[in-house]
A and B are shown apart, each in its own frame.
Chain A
Amino acid sequence: MDQYLIAMGTFACIYGLMTISLNLSWGITGMVNLGIAGFFGIGAYTSALLTTGLHWPVALGIVAAMVAGAVAGAGLTFATLRLRDDYLAIVTLGFAEIVRLVIMNELWLTNGSDGISGIPAPFPRTYGYAFALPFLGLMLMVLGVCYLLSTRLLHSPYGRVLRAIRDDNEVTAVAGKDVVRFKLKTFALSTAIAGAAGALYGHYTSFIAPDVFAPLLTIYIFLALTIGGTGNARGAVLGAFILIAILESSRFFPHLMPGFSAVQHAALREMLVAVVFVVCLMFRPDGLLPERRVKRTETPRAGDA
């Protein structure tokens, strides 16, 4: 059981990186990114190809994955500068599908639907604590650094501009802020984190394939962030851990209910996940840890003067 909890903790950290990434672009800056699985895939393949094909060290592979994620993110921002909301959502969703299809078909580079196996890990890969614990430690460290950085960013003047862009693009521009530049930088930063998440996923499980980056992954990340609470990194990380807790604990629940067939158990499990999410959103529409709105310092009333 403890082995399992360690493994799920590691997966939760990987999801946590993605929710932090999505929180930066969507939660704070208001740029919907339904293509997060695509950036995850770009990062995973970049690091996997460099470490298996060219035998780069894992650490360099992860850095390269972040660079690749950032470049792809910046490119996509340029292509979608005029888009907001639903339109941006559709284009980014399309982007993720394009990434998946390119990976599926460029056999010479990506090995197509067979995927890439035998991706090296930073520590010798064995079954047991010797591998699982250091990897969990590494993931907690990476997640912690990303958490601190994004919290710091949020409370800086830079973060205020991002929230201003989210609330009103044009007013921010009128206030003299270079909106395009802010968007570009933030989106690239967020996709770099998604790229790192992808790379770490590959190094952890040793296998990646185009099917890993199915839209289901993006949906999970959106659910996690919505449950945890958008606009702050605490909510993002909490959401990721809750998501994994719900997905995994739901495995054990249907079996406690007798009288259902195996296929009904699988369906029940999916229903259970859905119900928990719906209930969660009914009672906490802003998530468990919603963004704390900055209160205006009270302007003195006329009579006080």
Chain B
Amino acid sequence: MSDKLRISRRGLLQGAGALSLAGLAHPLTAWAQATGPIVIGTLTPQTGAGSIYGPGMRDAMAAVAKEVNAAGGVLGRQIRLVSEDDQTNPEATVRAARKLIDVDKAVAVLGPWASSVAAAVAPVCWESKTFCAIVGSADSITKLPHQGFLVRTQPNISAQAARFGKLAIDQGAKSIYFMGPQTPFTQIYIDVVAAMAKAKNIPFASEIYDGAKTSYRTEVEKALRAKPDVILLGGFVNDNAIVLREIFRAGYKGKLIGFGTGVNTKLLESVPPEAVEGVFAVTPSPALDSKAYQRFAKLIGNANPGPFESQAYDMINITLLAIAQAKQATGPAIRDAVRQVSQGGGTVVDNAVDGIKLISEGKKVNYDGASGSLEFDAVGDIVDAKFKIEQVKGGKLSTLEIS
């Protein structure tokens, strides 16, 4: 306490120094690598653009740590969760990650959400041999030379685009047209769907528009000249609202498919019901009917946890299971063991507490999580991502399937 008093007397310059000293003293509890608690770092967007998701993700991980600790921890050691804020900013993230790894000696950093943030954290983790599980969906991240230290629980952009294209083909498309605003991902959507259409000999055309316009008459006319029977909408709520009105006015009779970020309840509020009737929406989804999801919902006392919270739940569960499997709490050990507990057969478990018990009895486990069955390919991408397919019926979104 005397430190604090001195700060007020000595002026701010020394105060700043004292602050750092206070920081020095605090993490001394984390020195013990092999006997003390196992430190898991959460790095989620608590502030900034991602802050609607970050707190829920962090709380999900804290809930798991708590229940595992109550059941005796892993390898007889308790879990100490240390949380930092990635500020949804890649520059601030690097500093936060360094603190988790250098000061707290975290063996895993879980949660980076935005793509740019995840890509900034990745090299810090693989260089320091720290395990890392991310959300950020840009395809390029898992292609980095991460030596296996990185896994991603969110389907990448190509996987999302492929689900989009599959729905169009499943709907019996004879001619597909894609229209979407200029975003960093639009070209990937087009390339992926174009390749799928070509493989099935379905004519495909596309256009990229300026997402901030107030009228899309020429864009829609151009689209309809291609005579599509399925139009894919890559837009968000604001542009979709205008595009859908113009498509309806032009008397288009074919099918329409949009992303969940652009076809949702907000869109339904801003467009006349007849213009959106029958429109499909595709959204990455948790495995809503899985046992893990229902258990997770109960654990955090929220009936409908979102996809990112569900992924955070899975991230920490597989990390703890991997530590139990490897009998060692280090980054490389988690890296080597994570696929042994997430896939490849064995007793199916939906939480770390049960899994740790089974592993200690010498059994092989296969974790099936709240966000899906959680199987990773060689570069760390999720193989069987779940999507929710909805359709507007009678002015309301109704779920057709989760697959």
Contact = CB atoms under 8 A, between A and B. Distances in A.
A262 B120 contact: no
B98 A249 contact: no
Given A216-B89, A262-B62, A288-B12, A117 B123 contact: yes
Contacts of A3: 98, 102
A270 B20 contact: no
A209 B47 contact: no
B236 to A, nearest CB: 16
Interface string B338-379: 000000000000000000000000000000000000000000
Given A104-B184, A247-B95, A113 B115 contact: yes
A125 B55 CA distance: 33
Contact of A280 (B12, B46, B99, B114): B12
A206 B13 contact: no
Contacts of B89: 211-212, 214, 216
Contacts of A247: 92, 95
Contacts of A105: 182
Contacts of A156: none
A249 B4 CA distance: 14
B306 to A, nearest CB: 15
Contacts of B95: 7-8, 11, 247-248
Nearest to B56: A263
Interface string B31-49: 0000000000010001100
Interface in A69-120: 104-105, 107, 111-115, 117-118
A270 B87 CA distance: 10
A209 B90 contact: yes
A104 B55 CA distance: 28
Given A7-B98, A114-B119, A249 B20 contact: yes
Contacts of A123: none
B91 A217 contact: yes
A253 to B, nearest CB: 7
Interface residues of B, number: 53
B76 interface: no
B16 interface: yes
B15 to A, nearest CB: 8
Interface string A262-276: 110111011000001
B163 to A, nearest CB: 21
Given A1-B24, A114-B115, A263-B46, A209 B96 contact: no
A245 B114 contact: no
Given A11-B95, A211-B114, A211-B116, A245 B17 contact: yes
Contact of A262 (B27, B46, B114): B46
A72 B367 CA distance: 54
B58 interface: yes
B343 to A, nearest CB: 27
B85 interface: yes
B381 interface: no
Given A114-B119, A263-B46, A265-B83, A252 B23 contact: yes
Interface string B114-138: 1111011011100111000000001
Nearest to B23: A252
Nearest to A119: B123
Interface residues of A, number: 56
Given A207-B120, A248-B23, A262-B55, A125 B12 contact: no
B98 to A, nearest CB: 5
Contacts of B94: 205
Contacts of A265: 46, 83, 85
B99 A248 contact: yes
A207 B90 contact: yes
B13 A288 contact: yes
Contacts of B119: 114-115, 117, 207, 209
A300 B128 CA distance: 68
Interface in A1-50: 1, 3-4, 7-8, 11
B224 interface: no
A5 B110 CA distance: 23
A63 interface: no
A113 B136 CA distance: 12
A251 B22 CA distance: 11
A209 B20 CA distance: 29
A279 interface: yes
Contacts of A190: none
A254 to B, nearest CB: 10
A126 B128 CA distance: 8
B304 interface: no
B19 interface: yes
A217 B62 CA distance: 31
B128 to A, nearest CB: 4
B20 A248 contact: yes
B83 A262 contact: yes
B303 interface: no
Given A266-B47, A267-B47, A269-B85, A118 B17 contact: no
B26 A127 contact: no
B59 interface: yes
Contacts of A112: 184
A246 interface: yes
B209 to A, nearest CB: 14
Nearest to A263: B55
B96 to A, nearest CB: 7
A256 to B, nearest CB: 7
Given A115-B119, A253-B22, 18 more contacts: A1-B102, A7-B98, A105-B182, A117-B122, A117-B140, A216-B91, A242-B16, A245-B17, A248-B95, A249-B20, A249-B22, A251-B23, A251-B96, A256-B22, A256-B26, A261-B59, A265-B46, A266-B85
5 contacts: A3-B102, A114-B138, A211-B89, A217-B91, A262-B83
Closest 10 CB pairs of A and B: A266-B46, A4-B102, A249-B19, A252-B23, A113-B184, A263-B55, A266-B85, A211-B116, A209-B116, A3-B102
